Structure 1
Amino acid sequence: MNKKVFVFFPDGVGLRNFAFTQFKELGEERGNTIVYWNNTVFSLEKELGYKELPLKNHKIHPLTPLYTRARKHVELNVSQKKFKDPVYATYKFPFSYKGIKNILKSVFTQILIGFNSSEAGIIRIRKRINSLERSTKKYQYCKAQLQAHKPDLVFCTTQRATQSISALLAAQDLGIPTVGFVYSWDNVPKAMQLIETDFYCVWSDLMKKEVLTYYPFIKEHQVFVTGTPQFEPHFDTRLAQSRMDFCNQHNLDYHKKYICFSGDDETTSPLDQFYLEDLAQAVRSLNSKGHNLGIIYRKCPVDTTTRYEKIVQQYQDVIAVIDPLWTSKGTQWNEILPTKADLGLLYNVCEHSEFVANVCSSTVFDFVLHNKSCLYFNYEQPQLKKGIRDIGQNYNYVHFRSMPSPDAAVFCTHKKDLEFFVEQILEEKVSNVSVGKKWFDIVASNHPSVASKTIWDTIETILKN
C-alpha cells in the first residue's frame, strides 16, 4: 500500500495493543511507513527502536476537562431518560467540594449539566469542546507537525483521552482521515467516547450496535468490526514457559496447584483485599483436608495502594505475589505503563493457574482462552459501610448484560460457599469455559487471533475509498 500511517498514542493505554503486539510488523509487511505519534512519557524509539514523533506540547484548554466531564454526565442523563434505566446514574463519580478551586469547578460543571441535559445539549457541548481545543497552542503545534510530516491517515489508539482532541481536530481540518479505536469492552455505555473521528474500529458486532445506539451522529458506514489486539498474545505459543521454568522463576512450588487472584483498582473494588483474604482462608481449609494449593496474587497494574500488604503477609504460607511487569513513569494512573514482557507473564500466569478469581474483571476472557474458569466474588464484605462502594453494582452494568447466560462465569454469592466452589472448579465439576467462550465471541468477536490484520484491512479500505 505504501502509505504513511500515524499511530497516535494520546496516553499509554494503547501501548499493549499497538506497540507490543504484531500490529507494527503486519503494517510494515504491507509496505506502510508507520510513525508513532507519541503523546506519552514512554519513548518508543529508545525502548523499542520504533520511529516516533513525540508531542511535546501537552497543554489542553483549561476548561476542556470541565466540559468533557459535563458531556459525560449529560450523555448518561440522556441515556437514563431514553432507556428508562437507572444503571446509567451509577456510572457517575461524585463531585469534589474540598477547597475553593474544586467547589468552583464542580459548580461550573453542574451548571453546564443543568443547561444541557438533552440531545441538543450534547451537540452544544461537543461543539464547545472542539472550539476550545482549536484555540490552543497544542492544536497549532499538532497541525504544524502534520503539515511537516504529511501522514495519509491518523489511527488513534483510544477513544477516551482528552489529550487526543486537538490533535485529531488538526488532522481533520487538514483533510487527513482519522480512525479511532474503542479501547475497552465497557467504555461505550459508560459515556467514555471523547473523540470524534471519521471512522471507528470496534471489538464486535455488539460494540458496533452500542456505538450506533449511544452516538446517533455516527453512521453505520463509519464503524468497522475488527476485534482487539489485546488478546492476540494468548495465541502466541512462543510466549509459553514450561511449568518447571515458570515455577523456578517465581519461586513457586512445582507440585502445588495455584489459583490466580487478579486484583482490582480501588474504585471498582474498594474492599478487594478482603476477597483475597477469603480465598486464602478457603485454600488453607482445603489444604488441611489434603489438597496442595496456593494463590498467585497478581495486582491490578495501576493500583498503587498498600491495602493488600497485611493480607499477603498474614497468609504468606499460601499467597505468592507475582506483580505485573508494568513501569511507573509518573504519579498519575495513566503514567503507569505496560511493558512487552508482561504479555508473556500474563500468558504464563493463565497457563499455569487452575483458574482465576476476582471481582468482575475482564481477565475472565484471558483465562477462558487458556480453557480456565473464572470465579466472580459477588457478595458484600462486612467492612462495607456508608461511603464505600458496593461491588454488587458492577454486575448490574450494561456490559455484563452481554453474558449469554449466568453460567458465563462462576458466581460466588455467599462467602460460606467459596470453599465449595473452589473445590468444585478444581475437580472439574463446575466450569464456565464453554459458555465463557461464547461470551468472549459476543464481546470480542470470534477471530481474536487476527485482530491486527483486520485493523490493517480496515485502514487499507479507508485509504482506497
Structure 2
Amino acid sequence: MKIVLLVPDGVAVRNYIYSDFIQELHQANFEVVLYHQIPTPAIQEIKKIQGDLITAYYRIPDFKERFISRILRESIAYARLLQNSNKLQNNTIMLFWNGKSKTFKRKVLLRISELLGFCFSKNYSWILKLENWYEASILKHPTTKIIKAELAKINPDYILNLHQRAVTTAPIIALAKKKGIKNGTVIFSWDNIPKARLLSKYDSYFVWSDLMKSEMELLYPEIKAETIKVVGTPQFEFYFKVQFQLSKEEFFTTYNLDINKKTVCFSANDASSPYEALYLEDLCESLMRIEEPNRPQILFRKCPVDVSNRFDVVLNKYHHLVISINPEWRIASDLENSFTEIYPSFSDISLLVNTVLHSDVVVNLGSTMAHDFAVYNKPCLYLNYDPVNPSTFKVKDVYGFQHFKSMAEIVPVGWINNRLDFKDKIQQALDDSETTGPDRLQWMQKIVKHPLQNNSQNLAQEISILCTSV
C-alpha cells in the first residue's frame, strides 16, 4: 500500500516526520511518499533521519486562491466562528477572527466575508453549501491540472494531511475525493477545532482525545462520529526515548548553566502575544530579590517561529541571570518571510527534551509547554495578569479560550496573578512541586490519549485498518 503524507509546513516535520510514525507506517507495509511545501534543506535532513523509509518526495505546486475562493473561505470561517461561539456560549471564540488589515484590498475582502458569513451563519445548512461552493471553486483552479497529473503518477491508496489549516492542501484533498482516494487529516493541536479552520472535509479525522472528539461532534454535526478516531499525537513520544536525553552535567556544561542552582524555564509564545518581554523582565526583577546563593537561574526558550529581537534588551540587562538557548530551527535563505520556509532541525528534539528534563518549573502564558513538563510530572506556572494597562490584549481572554475549559474542577497549573507573585510562587514550586498544579497528570490524560508512547502506532494502525476495509 502507498500513503501520501501532505507536509505543508515545518511544524508537521517535527511532530510527525521526525517521530516513530514513519517507522510504524513502514511496519504496517506502507510505502511512504511526502507531498510537501518545505525547503530543500529540510528535505535533506529528513532523508538523513528516515533514509529509505520515505521512497519519494514531490513538491506541492504553488497555489494562490482566486478572489472569490478567498471570500468563500473567509466567509465560512466567520460563519462557523459565530456558530461555535453560540454553541459553546463562549465569546472569546470570535477573537480567532483576524479582521484587521493594512491594505485596502484585504479590508474589502474581510468586510465582504463578514457580511456573507453573518448572513449564512443564520442557518447551518447554508454554511455547508458555502463549503461545497468553496470546494467547487478550487477545483476550477489551473493548479489542479498539475496536482491531478501528479496524483495519477503517485497512485496512492491513502492521503493524510498533517496540518488541516493549510490552504495549499485544499485542492489536493478535493481532487482525492473526486478520484475516490481514501483520505484523512490529523487535527494538529489541542485548540484547533473551535477556530473554524477545517478547510476540507475528509473520510477520517484523527484527534488527540475523547474530549476533542466530542467537541468535533458538537461543532461539525455533519461529520459521522465513527469517522473521528482518537489516536493521540506523536509529539510527546520523544520524552520517553533515552537517545535524546543528556545527563544533567553534560547539558548544563554545554549551555553554561550552573548545576548548583535550580532552573526556571521561561518559554515564550509567538508575536501574537505582545508582552512576553515584559513578563520576562518581571520574572527577572522578582528573582533578583532572592539572595544570590538561593537564587534560581532562568533558562529562556523563545518560540521557534519568533524571529524578532524583542527580548534582546531584557536578555542583555539580565545576562548574569538568564541563559538564552535558542530553538534549533532553521530559516531557508531564499524566502525568509514565508512560514513554510521555517523548519526544525532534528537536534532541536534533544534540546527541547533536555530543557524539560533538567528544568524544575516552567513559566508561560497558556502554552502547551505545560503538557510537555507534565510528561515528567513537573509543575507549570501560568502568567495571569496584564503587564500593560489599558491594553487591547487581555490575559483573561486567553484563559477564556475553549481549550482551557478542560481545566474545570481540577488544578493542573499554578497561577502568577500579578508581578509580585513570582518570588513566592516560584519558591513554592521549587520547594514542593506537588503543591503547584497537583492535577497536572489528570489534565494531561484528558488532553491526550494515553499511554503517550503508543500514539504513532495508534495512528498507523487506524490508517492500515481504513485502507484494508471495503
- Per the normalisation by structure 2, the TM-score is 0.93
Q: Are 1:447 and 2:451 matched, yes or no?
A: yes
Higher relative contact order (Cα pairs below 8 Å, separated by 6+ residues): 2
> What residue number does 1:287 align with?
291
Deviation at 1:123, TM superposition (A): 1.2
Give the 5 Å matches for 1:223-262: 223-262=228-267
SS in 2 for 1:420: helix
> Partner of 2:337 in structure 1?
331
Seen in structure 2, the aligned counterparts of structure 1 residues 209 and 445 have a Cα distance that, compared at 3 Å, is same
2:202 aligned residue (178, 182, 197): 197
Q: Are residues 84 and 263 of structure 1, via their aligned partners in 2, closer, same or farther at CA, if it must alter by over 3 Å? A: closer
Contact 2:414 2:437 in 1 (8 A): no
Query: Residues 375 and 411 of structure 1 are in contact (CA less than 8 Å); yes or no, is this contact kept in structure 2?
Result: yes
- Kept in 1, the 8 Å contact 2:329–2:343? The answer is yes
- Report deviation, 1:433: 5.6
Letter matched to residue 443 of structure 2: W
- Distance in 2 between residues matched to 1:176 and 1:44, nearest whole Å: 28
Q: CA deviation at 1:56?
A: 4.7
Match for residue 159 of structure 1?
164
Maintained 8 Å contact 1:405/1:435 = no
Deviation at 1:100, TM superposition (A): 2.8
What is the letter of the counterpart of residue 364 of structure 1?
Answer: A
* In structure 2, C-alpha distance between the alignment counterparts of 1:141 and 1:432, rounded to whole Å: 55
The structural deviation recorded for 1:364 is 0.2
Q: Distance in 2 between matches of 1:190 and 1:92?
A: 8
Deviation of 1:201 after TM superposition, in Å, equals: 0.5
Q: What amino acid is the match of 2:301?
A: R
Question: What residue in structure 2 maps to residue 297 of structure 1?
Answer: 300
Structure 1 counterpart of 2:85: 80
Separation in structure 2 between the aligned mates of residue 374 and residue 147 of structure 1, nearest angstrom: 49
- Over 4 Å off, 4+ runs: 42-45
> After alignment, is 34-43 or 5-14 more displaced?
34-43
Matching residue within 150, 153, 163 for 1:148: 153
C-alpha RMSD of matched pairs (Å): 1.7
TM-aligned CA distance change 1:430 to 1:46, over 3 Å:
closer
Question: Could you say which residue in structure 2 is the equivalent of 1:344?
Answer: 350
What letter is aligned with 1:244?
E
C-alpha distance in 1 between matches for 2:88 and 2:429? 38
In 1, are the aligned partners of 2:28 and 2:464 still within 8 Å (CA)? no
Output the amino acid matched with 1:324.
Answer: P
Whether 2:407 is the aligned partner of 1:403: answer: yes
Instruction: State the match for 2:3 in structure 1.
Output: 5
Are 1:356 and 1:375, in contact at CA under 8 Å, matched by a contact in 2? yes
Structure-1 residue corresponding to 2:368:
362
Q: Aligned letter for 1:351? A: L
Superposed, 1:167-206 pairs within 5 Å as 167-206=172-211
Q: Give the distance between the partners of 2:409 and 2:56, measured in 1 at CA.
A: 45
Q: Quote the residue 1:32 is aligned against.
A: 30
Say if 2:29 is the partner of 1:48: no
Q: Quote how far apart the aligned CAs of 1:126 are.
A: 0.6
User: Does structure 2 conserve the Cα–Cα contact (< 8 Å) formed by 1:180 and 1:195?
Assistant: no
Contact 1:227–1:448 (8 Å) recurs in 2: yes
Query: How many positions carry a matched residue from both structures?
Result: 458
Give, as a single letter, the amino acid of the residue that structure 1 aligns with 2:343: L
Change in 2 beyond 3 A, CA 1:413/1:281: same
Give the aligned residue type for 2:326.
Answer: D
Q: Deviations over 1:55-92 (max 9, x none)?
A: 35211322333322221111011123334432322322
How far 1:405 sits from its partner (Å)? Answer: 3.4
TM-score, normalization: structure 1?
Answer: 0.94
Distance 1:91 1:46 in 2: 35
Q: Offset at 1:432?
A: 4.1
5 Å matches for 1:93-112?
93-96=98-101, 98-112=102-116
String of CA shifts for 1:105-128, please: whole Å, max 9, x gaps. 223322322332231331122112
Runs of 5+ in structure 1 lacking a partner? none
Structure 2 gap ranges (5+): 48-53
1:318 maps to 321
Equivalent in the alignment of 2:359 = 353
CA contact (8 A) 2:164 2:186 kept: yes
- Corresponding residue SS for 1:320: strand
